[in-house]
Amino acid sequence: MLNLLENKILKFLDNIYGFYVYDLINYIGYNINNINRFNKGFIGNLIESYINLNINKKNICDISLINLEIKTFSIDYNINLLNDISLVTFKYFRYLNIYIILEKLFYKIKNILFVPILSNKNSCIEDKVIGKSFIIKFSKYNILSFKNELYDLSILFSNNINILNSYYTKSFRLYFFINKNNKIYLNIFFRKNFIFKLINKYNIIL
């Protein structure tokens, strides 16, 4: 069940449902020439700025104080999800403690504000459209199930891994990559099929 502030946030976002991202950029006052179109987190940051702008106008509080994680995801106009949702990234070392991963991950995903972004695969960032936002609160049962899924994969962290390969559970995708400084990182995603099941389960209209 959503609390009063979470309901207010959804009402704020209802006001920009159907907006082009370009419209939101102008509303907040971003300089369009300074936007990094290759920064996948940009739209999420834009949404957070919009929410904080409205919260501050109402003298409520900062969104960072309510433990609500914002996650955008791309869908096409046939409501097909285009990609998995990145949750958290860790610097990898051979004996990476699975419990550290779980603690950080589950803190971030306990309450998630999902913001769908409608686009074609080749749409530039300004032409993407903001869909109907929704909040999902994962239960203790969900979290336990997630823990079991990831713990079953923990053997990977003490054996050889294949860089640029993905490893899958029912809900997650784990991806190892090397950054520009030659360091290995682990990125954990929600699988798009899992998100699609959530949308159907809660009868969410995007």
Q: Which residues on neighbouring strands pair with residue 190, listed in sequence order?
A: 85, 172
Domain count of the fold of the chain: 1
**Could you tell me the residue range of the domain that residue 160 belongs to?**
4-201
Residue 187 falls inside a structural domain = yes
* pLDDT band at residue 33 under the 50/70/90 scheme: low
Residue 10 falls inside a structural domain = yes
Mean per-residue pLDDT for 82-102? 78
CATH of the domain at 194: 3.40.600.10
pLDDT digits (tens, 9 = 90+) for 132-151: 999 999 888 888 888 888 87
Residue 118 falls inside a structural domain = yes
Residue 206 falls inside a structural domain = no
Report DSSP letters for 149-165, one per residue.
Answer: HHHHTGGGGGS---TT-
Residue 180 falls inside a structural domain = yes
Percent share of the chain, pLDDT over 90: 28
Residue 94 falls inside a structural domain = yes
> Residues 15, 51: contact at Cβ < 8 Å?
no
* pLDDT band at residue 32 under the 50/70/90 scheme: low
Residue 185 falls inside a structural domain = yes
